[in-house]
Chains A and B, each alone.
Chain A
């Protein structure tokens, strides 16, 4: 009996020590997170005040240098504030609305600085600066309790889990939504971009499930007579499509085909791929060309190929217009197995609804003056691509490299009309 009591005492003591340690660890963890959240909140609050002041100050100047300085501050601060907001455990609606509104202010500042369109900036910001002032006040009220020195981490947990209706940020979310819609209405280009993404212009007749399967089997004959399960997209989907899941032997996969017109937008097949490399790069090119012919995608050109352990990914894009320019937003991607050359994937989402190509002046550029003397221009071709404002622009695409041993290669995209540099990226 004595031994039993002794053993039980030891067990209770050990359990007590263990419980104490777990509690201490949890407490330490809570304090660390509490400190991080408070730091992010503090940063966000400071940057919000700074942003609001910078936007107000930008309305002071006519002088280009002074205004450029403020625009640069605004662009930088809006980015930093976005980062601080994204580190906070806010309701998704609040976080999303904040990120969008701040992003719009930053984009607008960048655009005004690049294009020198100060009049439009000041016109827009007269309202934005008042709204930012209101938001700053609301933010101060909503966040006041989080700065109370009471070591109460539960407040953060409540915020993280609370529904928006019960959250202290409810008013901010609703105001941000209204301000974004009013202060930054969608431009025509943004609206066109959304319409393309949501396949709004497809007017073709509706097809049945069986017809959808026929479309799939025509494009991918290898899966003919597979076992299919076909469902329709949910009612809220912006474009209705058939979701076809198939099983054939060791192949399992899916295809999404639009109800209107029966356009294949996405197809992927998964099967064990042998490590053998029986299919050469030349063969992959040949197979790609055969496929696009069969599919009737006769205006496409291969623009990039990438081999990996099991398959090749091939990128193609439409070639159009009098300059035979590559239209990057009208691309398709293919995935081809290395062991047999079988088509394992096709993504034609962007190709289904093609861009309207507009003519655009082409003003030549002297690349010797454009680039520094130690740069070699290796290739130049015309492309269509979207600029930051989602406008489709005819551009020069230049492949350039440094004249040294490093062979670092860059892709530089320059608008043919206004010579804006739309993109610079280092190529692998």
Chain B
């Protein structure tokens, strides 16, 4: 009788231990509870892209930006697995995706953080999926931008904004970025952001070398807002600091408003 009790106790203990993995909370590599769709950005999108690539549906860069490439890949996956085809990663889609693919979060994030070019196809050893001897252009933060702008534009404009207006209020920094973009739209100025910034005499920061200072996050945010449509300068094409301006010509321009130390004008 005692033996039987011991046996039952051992059996129960074994069952309990066996059930532990079932009770284990979801892996940290699994998606969050968010429903993600086109426009989303971040870790969930990185996982989505990696898993879709693992299964051979996604062939683009794993960058955490849910753009059109990810959208079509997701739709193709949904179609192949008999799911509702809507290009939205909801609970059901994520569950099927997780059940059918692997995701090595640590490895994928390590490649992204190191700025390496890599893929994440299933069935190929990971060390064969990293481009050797080549790192990406930068390890700096990545951003989602409106279609007509590139990360290079953002970087260059952030340099200009930081060099020209780092001591100004945020509004003033967005306004300086907006002036560059207003010039891009104007027939009186060159056709590219680079040509506008480096036009001789156009910006003091270029002349005194301050454009080469490393911009902070605030300057980048200011450029991002300007690229997304904000223009605190109200369509200005020029600005100047009335305390330091030496050009008589700039005082002849029609003025719009003053933000911090800068007067914005046409």
A266 within 8 A of B: yes
B167 within 8 A of A: no
Q: A256-B232, A310-B221 are in contact. Are A99 and B187 (CB under 8 A)?
A: yes
Contact between B249 and A407, CB atoms less than 8 A apart: no
Closest to A426 in B: B147
* Nearest CB in chain B: distance from A264 CB, A: 13
Q: Report the bound CA distance from A335 to B231 in whole Å.
A: 13
B18 within 8 A of A: no
Contact between B147 and A241, CB atoms less than 8 A apart: no
Contact between A345 and B225, CB atoms less than 8 A apart: yes
B35 within 8 A of A: yes
Tell me which of A268, A282, A307, A409 contacts B232 (CB under 8 A): A268
Q: Report the bound CA distance from A335 to B67 in whole Å.
A: 19
Closest to B192 in A: A83
Chain A residues, Cβ within 8 Å of B259: 254
A252 within 8 A of B: yes
Tell me which of B60, B171, B199, B255 contacts A253 (CB under 8 A): B171
Contact between B68 and A281, CB atoms less than 8 A apart: no
Tell me which of A103, A306, A409, A411 contacts B146 (CB under 8 A): A306
Contact between A266 and B230, CB atoms less than 8 A apart: yes
* Nearest CB in chain B: distance from A256 CB, A: 7
A237 within 8 A of B: yes
Tell me which of A89, A312, A347, A411 contacts B201 (CB under 8 A): A89
B:16-46 near A, CB below 8 Å? 32, 34-42
Tell me which of B170, B174, B254 contacts A236 (CB under 8 A): B254
Contact between A266 and B232, CB atoms less than 8 A apart: yes
Q: Is the interface of A mostly helix, strand, loop or mixed?
A: mixed
Q: Report the bound CA distance from A100 to B234 in whole Å.
A: 21
Contact between A306 and B39, CB atoms less than 8 A apart: yes
Q: Report the bound CA distance from A14 to B258 in whole Å.
A: 49
Q: Report the bound CA distance from A349 to B231 in whole Å.
A: 9
Chain A residues, Cβ within 8 Å of B248: 163
Tell me which of A99, A281, A427 contacts B37 (CB under 8 A): A281
Contact between A104 and B187, CB atoms less than 8 A apart: yes
A43 within 8 A of B: no
A324 within 8 A of B: no
Contact between A237 and B257, CB atoms less than 8 A apart: yes
B:171-203 near A, CB below 8 Å? 171, 174, 187-191, 195, 199-202
Contact between A164 and B146, CB atoms less than 8 A apart: no
B265 within 8 A of A: yes
Q: Report the bound CA distance from A79 to B32 in whole Å.
A: 50
Tell me which of B34, B199, B231, B238 contacts A86 (CB under 8 A): B199
Tell me which of B35, B40, B190 contacts A99 (CB under 8 A): B190
Tell me which of B72, B73, B190, B254 contacts A83 (CB under 8 A): B190
Question: Digit string of A397-411 for contact with B (CB within 8 Å is 1, else 0)?
Answer: 001010001111101
Q: Report the bound CA distance from A235 to B188 in whole Å.
A: 24
Chain B residues, Cβ within 8 Å of A282: 35
Q: Report the bound CA distance from A50 to B257 in whole Å.
A: 43
Closest to B195 in A: A86
Contact between A427 and B225, CB atoms less than 8 A apart: no
Chain A residues, Cβ within 8 Å of B129: none
Question: Digit string of B202-225 for contact with A (CB within 8 Å is 1, else 0)?
Answer: 100000000000000000010011
Question: Digit string of A256-293 for contact with B (CB within 8 Å is 1, else 0)?
Answer: 10000000011010100000010011100000000000
Tell me which of A82, A270, A281 contacts B36 (CB under 8 A): A281
Contact between A277 and B42, CB atoms less than 8 A apart: yes
B91 within 8 A of A: no
Q: Report the bound CA distance from A128 to B190 in whole Å.
A: 22
Contact between A304 and B265, CB atoms less than 8 A apart: no
Tell me which of A82, A265, A280 contacts B35 (CB under 8 A): A280
A and B contact pairs by CB, cutoff 8 A, 27 listed: A83-B191, A96-B188, A104-B187, A234-B255, A237-B234, A237-B256, A256-B234, A280-B34, A281-B39, A281-B40, A282-B35, A305-B39, A306-B39, A306-B146, A307-B41, A308-B143, A313-B224, A313-B228, A345-B230, A347-B229, A406-B69, A407-B60, A407-B72, A409-B69, A426-B147, A428-B67, A428-B144
**Additional A-B contact list (18), CB under 8 Å, known A163-B249, A406-B60:** A88-B200, A233-B257, A234-B255, A237-B256, A238-B235, A243-B257, A245-B171, A253-B170, A256-B234, A270-B170, A281-B37, A305-B38, A308-B144, A335-B228, A399-B68, A407-B68, A408-B69, A428-B147
Chain B residues within CB distance 8 Å of chain A? 32, 34-42, 58-60, 65, 67-69, 71-73, 141, 143-148, 169-171, 174, 187-191, 195, 199-202, 221, 224-225, 228-232, 234-235, 238, 248-249, 254-259, 263, 265-266
